[in-house]
Amino acid sequence: MNERGLRWRGIVFSLPWIVGLAVFSLYPFCASLYYSFTDFSVLEKPVWVGLDNYAEMAQDPVFWQVFWNTIYYVALAIPSGIVCALGLALVVNMTRRGQWLYSVIFYLPHLVPAVASAILWMWILNAEIGLLNSALRPLYDALNGLRAWWDPALAAQMQTAPSLLWGPPPWLGSPQWALPALVVMGLWGLGQMCFIYLAKLQDVPIELYEAADIDGASVWQKIRHVTIPQISPIIFFNLVMGIIGACQIFTEPFLMTQGGPDRATTFLPMYIWDNAFVYMRMGYACALSWVLFVMILVLTIVAFRLSRDRVYYAGK
Protein backbone atom coordinates (compact mmCIF):
# COMPACT_ATOMS: atom_id res chain seq x y z
CA MET A 1 0.00 0.00 0.00
CA ASN A 2 1.32 3.44 -0.92
CA GLU A 3 1.92 6.28 1.53
CA ARG A 4 -1.41 7.99 0.74
CA GLY A 5 -3.35 4.81 1.43
CA LEU A 6 -1.57 4.35 4.77
CA ARG A 7 -2.39 7.93 5.69
CA TRP A 8 -6.10 7.47 4.99
CA ARG A 9 -6.16 4.19 6.88
CA GLY A 10 -4.64 5.96 9.88
CA ILE A 11 -7.29 8.70 9.63
CA VAL A 12 -10.08 6.12 9.49
CA PHE A 13 -8.79 4.31 12.57
CA SER A 14 -8.41 7.65 14.40
CA LEU A 15 -11.86 8.88 13.38
CA PRO A 16 -13.80 7.49 16.39
CA TRP A 17 -11.44 9.27 18.78
CA ILE A 18 -11.55 12.49 16.72
CA VAL A 19 -15.37 12.45 16.64
CA GLY A 20 -15.52 11.74 20.37
CA LEU A 21 -13.14 14.60 21.09
CA ALA A 22 -15.13 17.00 18.92
CA VAL A 23 -18.56 16.01 20.26
CA PHE A 24 -17.82 15.49 23.95
CA SER A 25 -14.95 17.95 24.55
CA LEU A 26 -14.44 20.56 21.85
CA TYR A 27 -18.11 21.42 21.26
CA PRO A 28 -19.01 21.72 24.99
CA PHE A 29 -15.89 23.83 25.49
CA CYS A 30 -16.87 26.31 22.78
CA ALA A 31 -20.60 26.20 23.61
CA SER A 32 -19.93 27.04 27.27
CA LEU A 33 -18.06 30.17 26.19
CA TYR A 34 -21.04 31.29 24.12
CA TYR A 35 -23.60 30.46 26.82
CA SER A 36 -21.58 32.41 29.40
CA PHE A 37 -22.71 35.56 27.60
CA THR A 38 -26.37 34.53 27.60
CA ASP A 39 -29.33 34.12 29.92
CA PHE A 40 -29.92 30.41 29.42
CA SER A 41 -32.15 28.17 31.54
CA VAL A 42 -31.77 25.02 29.38
CA LEU A 43 -35.56 24.84 28.96
CA GLU A 44 -35.72 28.01 26.86
CA LYS A 45 -33.65 29.53 24.08
CA PRO A 46 -30.57 31.45 25.23
CA VAL A 47 -30.86 35.24 25.25
CA TRP A 48 -27.69 37.27 24.64
CA VAL A 49 -26.88 39.47 27.65
CA GLY A 50 -23.25 40.29 26.97
CA LEU A 51 -21.12 40.70 30.09
CA ASP A 52 -24.07 40.75 32.50
CA ASN A 53 -23.22 37.34 33.98
CA TYR A 54 -19.67 38.44 34.74
CA ALA A 55 -20.87 41.77 36.14
CA GLU A 56 -23.30 39.94 38.40
CA MET A 57 -20.52 37.61 39.47
CA ALA A 58 -18.40 40.55 40.59
CA GLN A 59 -21.25 41.64 42.88
CA ASP A 60 -22.14 38.14 44.08
CA PRO A 61 -20.99 37.63 47.72
CA VAL A 62 -21.58 33.88 47.49
CA PHE A 63 -19.26 33.65 44.48
CA TRP A 64 -16.45 35.40 46.35
CA GLN A 65 -16.94 33.16 49.37
CA VAL A 66 -16.73 29.96 47.33
CA PHE A 67 -13.86 31.38 45.28
CA TRP A 68 -11.76 31.98 48.39
CA ASN A 69 -12.86 28.62 49.80
CA THR A 70 -11.41 27.01 46.68
CA ILE A 71 -8.15 28.97 46.94
CA TYR A 72 -7.88 28.11 50.64
CA TYR A 73 -8.42 24.43 49.94
CA VAL A 74 -5.81 24.44 47.17
CA ALA A 75 -3.31 26.24 49.43
CA LEU A 76 -3.76 23.61 52.14
CA ALA A 77 -4.25 20.43 50.12
CA ILE A 78 -1.42 20.67 47.60
CA PRO A 79 1.57 21.33 49.93
CA SER A 80 0.35 18.82 52.53
CA GLY A 81 -0.28 16.21 49.83
CA ILE A 82 3.12 16.63 48.19
CA VAL A 83 5.02 16.59 51.49
CA CYS A 84 3.16 13.59 52.94
CA ALA A 85 3.39 11.56 49.72
CA LEU A 86 7.09 12.32 49.37
CA GLY A 87 7.70 11.43 53.02
CA LEU A 88 5.94 8.08 52.62
CA ALA A 89 7.87 7.37 49.44
CA LEU A 90 11.19 8.12 51.17
CA VAL A 91 10.34 5.81 54.06
CA VAL A 92 9.25 2.99 51.74
CA ASN A 93 12.33 3.50 49.57
CA MET A 94 14.59 3.04 52.59
CA THR A 95 12.76 -0.15 53.59
CA ARG A 96 14.77 -3.20 52.60
CA ARG A 97 12.21 -5.91 53.34
CA GLY A 98 8.52 -5.90 52.42
CA GLN A 99 8.77 -2.85 50.20
CA TRP A 100 6.19 -4.27 47.78
CA LEU A 101 3.78 -4.88 50.66
CA TYR A 102 3.99 -1.30 51.91
CA SER A 103 3.53 -0.03 48.36
CA VAL A 104 0.34 -2.07 48.00
CA ILE A 105 -0.98 -0.91 51.38
CA PHE A 106 -0.42 2.76 50.57
CA TYR A 107 -1.88 2.39 47.07
CA LEU A 108 -5.06 0.52 48.03
CA PRO A 109 -6.97 3.59 49.37
CA HIS A 110 -6.55 5.23 45.96
CA LEU A 111 -8.61 2.38 44.47
CA VAL A 112 -11.56 2.93 46.81
CA PRO A 113 -14.40 4.74 44.99
CA ALA A 114 -14.92 8.36 46.00
CA VAL A 115 -18.46 7.72 47.27
CA ALA A 116 -17.33 4.85 49.49
CA SER A 117 -14.43 6.95 50.82
CA ALA A 118 -16.80 9.83 51.62
CA ILE A 119 -19.15 7.54 53.58
CA LEU A 120 -16.23 6.01 55.46
CA TRP A 121 -14.79 9.40 56.39
CA MET A 122 -18.16 10.70 57.51
CA TRP A 123 -17.98 8.01 60.21
CA ILE A 124 -14.31 8.68 61.00
CA LEU A 125 -14.94 12.44 61.37
CA ASN A 126 -18.21 12.11 63.30
CA ALA A 127 -17.99 14.49 66.27
CA GLU A 128 -19.68 12.10 68.72
CA ILE A 129 -18.79 8.53 67.75
CA GLY A 130 -16.10 9.09 65.13
CA LEU A 131 -12.90 7.08 65.18
CA LEU A 132 -10.67 10.17 65.02
CA ASN A 133 -12.27 11.97 67.96
CA SER A 134 -12.31 8.74 69.97
CA ALA A 135 -8.54 8.54 69.47
CA LEU A 136 -8.06 12.24 70.35
CA ARG A 137 -10.26 12.28 73.45
CA PRO A 138 -7.65 10.81 75.87
CA LEU A 139 -5.18 13.49 74.72
CA TYR A 140 -7.65 16.30 75.44
CA ASP A 141 -8.56 14.74 78.79
CA ALA A 142 -4.87 14.72 79.71
CA LEU A 143 -4.48 18.37 78.63
CA ASN A 144 -7.49 19.40 80.73
CA GLY A 145 -5.98 17.53 83.67
CA LEU A 146 -2.74 19.49 83.28
CA ARG A 147 -4.66 22.77 83.14
CA ALA A 148 -6.54 21.86 86.31
CA TRP A 149 -3.33 20.88 88.08
CA TRP A 150 -1.57 24.09 87.02
CA ASP A 151 -4.43 26.45 87.91
CA PRO A 152 -6.72 25.30 90.78
CA ALA A 153 -9.02 28.30 90.24
CA LEU A 154 -9.54 27.30 86.62
CA ALA A 155 -10.22 23.74 87.77
CA ALA A 156 -13.07 24.97 89.98
CA GLN A 157 -14.53 26.95 87.06
CA MET A 158 -14.22 23.93 84.77
CA GLN A 159 -16.40 21.89 87.14
CA THR A 160 -19.23 24.40 86.90
CA ALA A 161 -18.68 25.48 83.27
CA PRO A 162 -18.13 22.49 80.96
CA SER A 163 -17.58 24.92 78.05
CA LEU A 164 -14.12 25.65 79.47
CA LEU A 165 -13.06 22.08 78.84
CA TRP A 166 -11.03 21.38 75.75
CA GLY A 167 -12.48 18.72 73.49
CA PRO A 168 -11.80 17.16 70.08
CA PRO A 169 -12.85 19.35 67.13
CA PRO A 170 -16.39 19.01 65.76
CA TRP A 171 -14.82 18.58 62.28
CA LEU A 172 -17.55 18.56 59.62
CA GLY A 173 -20.00 20.41 61.88
CA SER A 174 -17.77 23.46 62.38
CA PRO A 175 -17.14 26.26 59.83
CA GLN A 176 -13.54 26.48 61.09
CA TRP A 177 -12.76 22.76 60.95
CA ALA A 178 -14.85 21.46 58.05
CA LEU A 179 -12.51 22.53 55.26
CA PRO A 180 -9.31 21.32 57.01
CA ALA A 181 -11.16 18.04 57.65
CA LEU A 182 -11.59 17.61 53.89
CA VAL A 183 -7.86 18.29 53.45
CA VAL A 184 -7.08 15.56 55.98
CA MET A 185 -9.40 13.22 54.12
CA GLY A 186 -7.59 14.03 50.87
CA LEU A 187 -4.40 12.55 52.34
CA TRP A 188 -6.20 9.20 52.35
CA GLY A 189 -5.73 8.82 48.60
CA LEU A 190 -2.07 9.74 48.27
CA GLY A 191 -1.07 6.25 47.21
CA GLN A 192 -0.81 7.06 43.52
CA MET A 193 1.38 10.10 44.13
CA CYS A 194 3.51 8.10 46.56
CA PHE A 195 3.85 5.31 43.99
CA ILE A 196 5.09 7.77 41.35
CA TYR A 197 7.65 9.21 43.78
CA LEU A 198 8.84 5.74 44.71
CA ALA A 199 9.42 4.80 41.08
CA LYS A 200 11.52 7.91 40.53
CA LEU A 201 13.43 7.50 43.80
CA GLN A 202 14.63 4.11 42.68
CA ASP A 203 15.98 5.74 39.52
CA VAL A 204 18.29 8.18 41.38
CA PRO A 205 21.94 7.18 40.69
CA ILE A 206 23.48 5.50 43.73
CA GLU A 207 26.81 7.15 42.88
CA LEU A 208 25.43 10.52 43.97
CA TYR A 209 24.62 9.19 47.43
CA GLU A 210 28.06 7.56 47.68
CA ALA A 211 29.71 10.89 46.77
CA ALA A 212 27.58 12.64 49.40
CA ASP A 213 28.62 10.05 52.01
CA ILE A 214 32.29 10.68 51.19
CA ASP A 215 31.70 14.42 51.70
CA GLY A 216 30.12 13.70 55.10
CA ALA A 217 26.58 14.75 54.18
CA SER A 218 23.80 14.04 56.67
CA VAL A 219 20.55 12.30 55.77
CA TRP A 220 18.71 15.63 55.49
CA GLN A 221 21.49 17.11 53.33
CA LYS A 222 21.32 14.12 50.97
CA ILE A 223 17.56 14.51 50.70
CA ARG A 224 17.82 18.25 50.09
CA HIS A 225 20.78 18.36 47.70
CA VAL A 226 20.56 14.98 45.97
CA THR A 227 17.12 13.41 46.20
CA ILE A 228 14.87 16.44 45.71
CA PRO A 229 16.80 17.88 42.71
CA GLN A 230 16.84 14.46 41.04
CA ILE A 231 13.10 13.90 41.45
CA SER A 232 12.11 17.56 40.91
CA PRO A 233 10.38 16.81 37.54
CA ILE A 234 8.06 14.38 39.34
CA ILE A 235 7.42 16.89 42.13
CA PHE A 236 6.53 19.47 39.50
CA PHE A 237 4.27 16.99 37.69
CA ASN A 238 2.41 16.19 40.91
CA LEU A 239 2.14 19.92 41.66
CA VAL A 240 0.43 20.64 38.34
CA MET A 241 -1.86 17.62 38.60
CA GLY A 242 -2.64 18.59 42.19
CA ILE A 243 -3.66 22.11 41.11
CA ILE A 244 -6.00 20.71 38.46
CA GLY A 245 -7.50 18.15 40.81
CA ALA A 246 -7.85 20.35 43.90
CA CYS A 247 -9.57 23.16 41.99
CA GLN A 248 -12.19 20.67 40.76
CA ILE A 249 -13.02 18.99 44.07
CA PHE A 250 -16.70 18.08 44.10
CA THR A 251 -17.72 14.57 45.18
CA GLU A 252 -16.47 14.56 48.76
CA PRO A 253 -17.89 17.93 49.94
CA PHE A 254 -21.08 17.34 47.95
CA LEU A 255 -21.73 14.06 49.77
CA MET A 256 -20.26 14.81 53.19
CA THR A 257 -21.26 18.39 53.95
CA GLN A 258 -23.53 19.57 51.10
CA GLY A 259 -21.40 22.72 51.11
CA GLY A 260 -21.95 23.56 54.77
CA PRO A 261 -21.82 24.60 57.44
CA ASP A 262 -22.35 28.24 56.46
CA ARG A 263 -20.97 27.45 52.98
CA ALA A 264 -17.57 26.75 54.54
CA THR A 265 -17.06 23.81 52.18
CA THR A 266 -18.84 25.14 49.10
CA PHE A 267 -16.30 25.24 46.28
CA LEU A 268 -16.54 26.61 42.75
CA PRO A 269 -17.50 23.27 41.11
CA MET A 270 -20.36 22.87 43.62
CA TYR A 271 -21.55 26.43 43.02
CA ILE A 272 -21.46 25.76 39.28
CA TRP A 273 -23.56 22.63 39.81
CA ASP A 274 -26.10 24.52 41.94
CA ASN A 275 -26.55 27.27 39.36
CA ALA A 276 -26.75 24.85 36.43
CA PHE A 277 -29.02 22.13 37.80
CA VAL A 278 -30.70 23.53 40.93
CA TYR A 279 -31.35 27.17 39.98
CA MET A 280 -31.48 26.35 36.23
CA ARG A 281 -29.14 29.25 35.40
CA MET A 282 -26.94 27.55 32.84
CA GLY A 283 -25.60 30.83 31.43
CA TYR A 284 -24.35 31.98 34.82
CA ALA A 285 -22.97 28.49 35.49
CA CYS A 286 -21.01 28.63 32.21
CA ALA A 287 -19.55 31.99 33.23
CA LEU A 288 -18.52 30.47 36.56
CA SER A 289 -16.96 27.55 34.69
CA TRP A 290 -14.80 29.89 32.67
CA VAL A 291 -13.67 31.65 35.83
CA LEU A 292 -12.66 28.24 37.19
CA PHE A 293 -10.82 27.50 33.94
CA VAL A 294 -8.94 30.80 34.11
CA MET A 295 -8.08 30.19 37.77
CA ILE A 296 -6.59 26.78 36.99
CA LEU A 297 -4.75 28.24 34.00
CA VAL A 298 -3.26 31.11 36.03
CA LEU A 299 -2.16 28.82 38.88
CA THR A 300 -0.58 26.44 36.38
CA ILE A 301 1.27 29.26 34.61
CA VAL A 302 2.52 30.54 37.97
CA ALA A 303 3.75 27.03 38.80
CA PHE A 304 5.59 26.82 35.48
CA ARG A 305 7.18 30.25 35.97
CA LEU A 306 8.30 29.56 39.55
CA SER A 307 9.72 26.16 38.66
CA ARG A 308 11.66 27.31 35.61
CA ASP A 309 15.04 27.35 37.42
CA ARG A 310 14.14 24.80 40.10
CA VAL A 311 13.39 21.66 38.09
CA TYR A 312 16.33 19.53 36.97
CA TYR A 313 15.98 17.62 33.71
CA ALA A 314 18.71 15.12 32.92
CA GLY A 315 20.59 15.93 29.73
CA LYS A 316 19.79 19.66 29.76
- With a cut of 90, say whether residue 86 has pLDDT above it: yes
Confirm if 204 and 230 have CB atoms less than 8 A apart: yes
Q: Distance between CA atoms of 35 and 50, rounded to whole angstroms?
A: 10
Q: How confident is the model at residue 207 (pLDDT cuts 50, 70, 90)?
A: very high
Q: Distance between CA atoms of 95 and 89, rounded to whole angstroms?
A: 10
pLDDT digits over 120-160, tens only?
999 999 998 899 999 999 999 898 888 888 888 777 777 77
- Please state the rounded mean pLDDT for residues 229-244: 94
Give the pLDDT of residue 232: 93
For the CA atoms of 31, 275, 277, 291, the dihedral, rounded to the nearest 10 degrees, stands at 40
- Domain of residue 288: give its range: 50-114+175-316
Q: How confident is the model at residue 110 (pLDDT cuts 50, 70, 90)?
A: confident
Q: Distance between CA atoms of 28 and 21, rounded to whole angstroms?
A: 10
Least trusted range by pLDDT, from 142-151, 225-234, 244-253? 142-151
Q: Is 127 within the bounds of a domain?
A: no
Which residues are registered as beta bridge partners of 48?
38
User: Rg of the chain's alpha carbons, rounded to an integer?
Assistant: 25
CA atoms within 13 A on the CB side of 85: 30
Q: How confident is the model at residue 273 (pLDDT cuts 50, 70, 90)?
A: very high
- Please state the rounded mean pLDDT for residues 191-201: 90
- Please state the rounded mean pLDDT for residues 201-215: 91
- Please state the rounded mean pLDDT for residues 175-180: 94
Q: Is 24 within the bounds of a domain?
A: no
Give the pLDDT of residue 36: 96
Q: Is 121 within the bounds of a domain?
A: no
Number of domains, the chain: 1
Give the pLDDT of residue 51: 95
Give the pLDDT of residue 315: 60
Q: Distance between CA atoms of 67 and 57, rounded to whole angstroms?
A: 11
Give the pLDDT of residue 84: 94
- Whole-number average pLDDT of the chain: 91
Q: Is 96 within the bounds of a domain?
A: yes
Domain CATH code at residue 62: 1.10.3720.10
- Label each residue of the chain as H, E or C: CCHHHHHHHHHHHHHHHHHHHHHHHHHHHHHHHHHCCEECCCCCCCEECCCHHHHHHHCCHHHHHHHHHHHHHHHHHHHHHHHHHHHHHHHHHHCCCCHHHHHHHHHHHHHCCHHHHHHHHHHHCCCCCCHHHHHHHHHHHHHHHHHHHHCHHHHHHHHHCHHHCCCCCCHHHCCCCHHHHHHHHHHHHCHHHHHHHHHHHCCCCHHHHHHHHHCCCCHHHHHHHHHHHHHHHHHHHHHHHHHHHHHCCCHHHHHHCCCCCCCCCCCHHHHHHHHHHHCCCHHHHHHHHHHHHHHHHHHHHHHHHHCCCCCCCCCC
Q: Is 279 within the bounds of a domain?
A: yes
Q: Is 249 within the bounds of a domain?
A: yes
Burial classification of residue 36, based on how many CB atoms lie within 10 Å of its CB (0-12 exposed, 13-18 middle, 19 or more buried): buried
Q: How confident is the model at residue 312 (pLDDT cuts 50, 70, 90)?
A: confident
Give the pLDDT of residue 1: 60
Highest mean pLDDT among 55-59, 111-115, 146-150, 307-311: 55-59
Q: How confident is the model at residue 76 (pLDDT cuts 50, 70, 90)?
A: very high
- Please state the rounded mean pLDDT for residues 194-200: 90
Highest mean pLDDT among 3-7, 165-169, 222-226, 266-270: 266-270
Q: Is 42 left (phi over 0), alpha (psi -120 to 50) or beta?
A: left
Q: Is 17 within the bounds of a domain?
A: no
Q: How confident is the model at residue 3 (pLDDT cuts 50, 70, 90)?
A: confident
- The contacts of residue 20 (CB under 8 Å, 6+ apart) are none
Q: How confident is the model at residue 178 (pLDDT cuts 50, 70, 90)?
A: very high
pTM score, two decimals?
A: 0.90
Q: Is 167 within the bounds of a domain?
A: no
Percentage of the residues of the chain whose pLDDT score is greater than 70: 98
